[in-house]
Structure 1
C-alpha cells in the first residue's frame, strides 16, 4: 500500500462503523459511537476527517474550531496501517483546513508516554507548552500540552 492509495476526506455517518473499529483498537477509553455521531451531525465546532483505503476508513482525525484556535481532539490509525505515513497525512490535512478556516494556532494533548505521537506533532511544528497532571482517566497518566502557533 502506498500513500497514493489513501484518500483523505471529511467524515460522514457512513464512516462511523469503520472509525469505531479504529477507535476501539487505539484507545483504552474509546469514544462511544453516539459521541462520534453527535460530533459529525450536531457539533458546529467539530471538523472530522478520515483516511480511507478502498472506501474503508482506516484512520481519522478530529478538531474543534473555537474562535481562531483549533483543538485537535483525536487522531488514530488502525494498527495494521500504522507506520505508513497516514498519521502525517491526517495532521497535514487538519493544518490545511485550519488555514482555510482562519485558525491561527492549534493545540492538543498527548500522553507523556506516547513518544511516536509527540514526534509526529513536532514534525509539524507543535511544541510542548505545558502539562496536565493526571489527565488520562484510565491510568492517571500526565498529558503534554502542545501548541502550533504559526498556522497562517
Structure 2
C-alpha cells in the first residue's frame, strides 16, 4: 500500500508543485508566484500531498483573521479518482477548525462538476457567481463557502 503524507510546502518543493500546477490548470501559476506566496504573503499557507515521497497534489490557503480562502487545490491527473483530493481537502478543513477559522470560501469553474461535488461533501454551498472570472476562457466561477464554527 502506498504511503500518503500531507505536509507544509518547502521552497525545494516548488518545481514538483509546478508540475502538478501545469498538469492541472490552463493558466498555471509561475515559479515567481509560488515563491512570492511562500516568502512574502504572511496570510498564505501551502501544503503538499505526497504518495510514496512524490508530490502529486497541493493546496494553498489564505487565512485572514478568521476567514480562509482556498487559492488553489490540485491533484496530478494520473492520481485522480483515488480520493486524494478528498483527503487533502479534509486536511484543510481540520486545520482550519483547529486554528479557529470561522468561514472557508473558494472559487470553482462552473464546468468543474467533480470539484463542486467534492466541496459539497464538506458542506460548501454556492454563494454567488463571479462573471468571466477565468482569464483563459472567460468562464464564470461559482463562489462556494461554508461556516466552520
| TM-score scaled by length of structure 2 | 0.96
Q: Tell me what 1:70 maps to.
A: 68
2 CA distance for matches of 1:82 and 1:25?
12
Q: Tell me what 1:37 maps to.
A: 35
Secondary structure of 2:14 counterpart: helix
Tell me the C-alpha RMSD between the 2 structures. Answer: 1.0
Secondary structure of 2:23 counterpart: helix
2 CA distance for matches of 1:9 and 1:85?
17
Unaligned ranges ≥5, structure 1: none
Q: Tell me what 1:126 maps to.
A: 124
How many residues in Structure 1 have an aligned counterpart in Structure 2? 149
2 CA distance for matches of 1:55 and 1:41?
24
Q: Tell me what 2:102 maps to.
A: 104
- 4+ residue segments displaced more than 2 Å: none
Deviation of 1:67 (Å): 1.6
Q: Tell me what 2:142 maps to.
A: 144
